[in-house]
Amino acid sequence: MGKPLSATNSKTGLSYDDMLNDDFAFDMDSHDVMVFLHMQKTGGTSFGKHLVHDLDLQRPCTCPITPKRCYCFRPHSNQSWLFSRYTTGWKCGLHADWTELTNCVDAKLDELEGHIAKRRYFYITLLRQPLARYLSEFRHVQRGATWKGSRHFCHNRAATEVELPACYKSESWDNVELDDFMNCDSNLAINRQTRMLADLELVGCYNKDYMPEADRNRVMLASAKKNLQSMAFFGLTEYQKISQYIFEETFNLRFAIPFEQNNATVSSHTMPTLSAEQATKIAHLNDLDNELYQFAKQLLFERFHRLKARDSKFEQRFSHLGEIPGKFGVTEFDWDKLDDDITSNPV
């Protein structure tokens, strides 16, 4: 299920297995493009900054004064090799999901570059342990985040108010209590990672009358797993070092800093305050994300061991990640100190 990421489908890109061929190279000077699918509260803001600030490139990205916008051009042309919040902006919608991106990226890049090109797309993303991610989103919403600019576009239209009724009547849901946050059935924090990685056209988009709930959940989870497995790269917030190694070995690119593992987050301080009933309910609400995360964790370590086995200098490489002669400095991975969008619209 889902649209396969295969070499024959220029819309959605090369599969991970295609990239492990001995003759593979991410061709920054041609028409290869990384597409970053950024899910809320997974560490994507920090990772996005690493992509534009910390990669050791022939032509480094430049980030002028304009907030949240960098230029990551190819070595010999002013065309971008990276489609992300910090480079192109939210061209496919605020925190666009798999369904939105795969139906949008190609046309938007043609529009930006002024011509039609046949490109190879490499989808990348981050996932996070579901309880921690859900609580982090709760705290972010509690502070005023709304993501009202998100379109939830699927099958050529945005979701209707009937399909996605608002959880609150005021401008924001700030100061919401956890129980109220959990009790809203249309809260998009629930199983967010599964929904954002699935091909929603398979389940009638946001129309929950399209099929029985059990079938909808089964199809959506299967699609999310399929799409994740086919992605060129994904990392897990809880495994920064392994994720960094996999990215570098997959794309043959190097970060000039080591990723930092920061476990002291807002959500980690919230967890001890949960009652047993609240913790059980959150786990039940996010049952699809929990299964997806376990699948992702197993797949991540499979990829890690596969790359490790063919790396004759693994011990040296792994112990010196982020160390490049002549380059210094560490960027902390603190995914709860966000400058994330609260009411931003796509630009």
Catalytic residue among 95, 155, 269, 305: 95
- The secondary structure of residue 167, as a DSSP letter, is S
What region does 295 belong to: left with phi over 0, alpha with psi -120 to 50, or beta? alpha
Contact 132/192 with Cβ under 8 angstroms? no
Are 87 and 42 contacting, i.e. CB atoms less than 8 angstroms apart? no
For the chain, the farthest-separated pair of C-alpha atoms sits apart, in whole angstroms, at: 59
Give me 297's structure tokens.
């964790």
How is residue 201 annotated by DSSP? G
Cβ distance 182 to 141 under 8 Å?
no
Q: Is 95 a catalytic residue?
A: yes
On whether the CB atoms of residues 5 and 101 are closer than 8 A, the answer is no
For residues 299-311, b (16+ Cβ closer than 10 Å) or e, as one string?
A: bbeebbeebbeee
Apex 165 CA angle, 99 and 186, nearest 5:
65
The set of catalytic residues is: 95
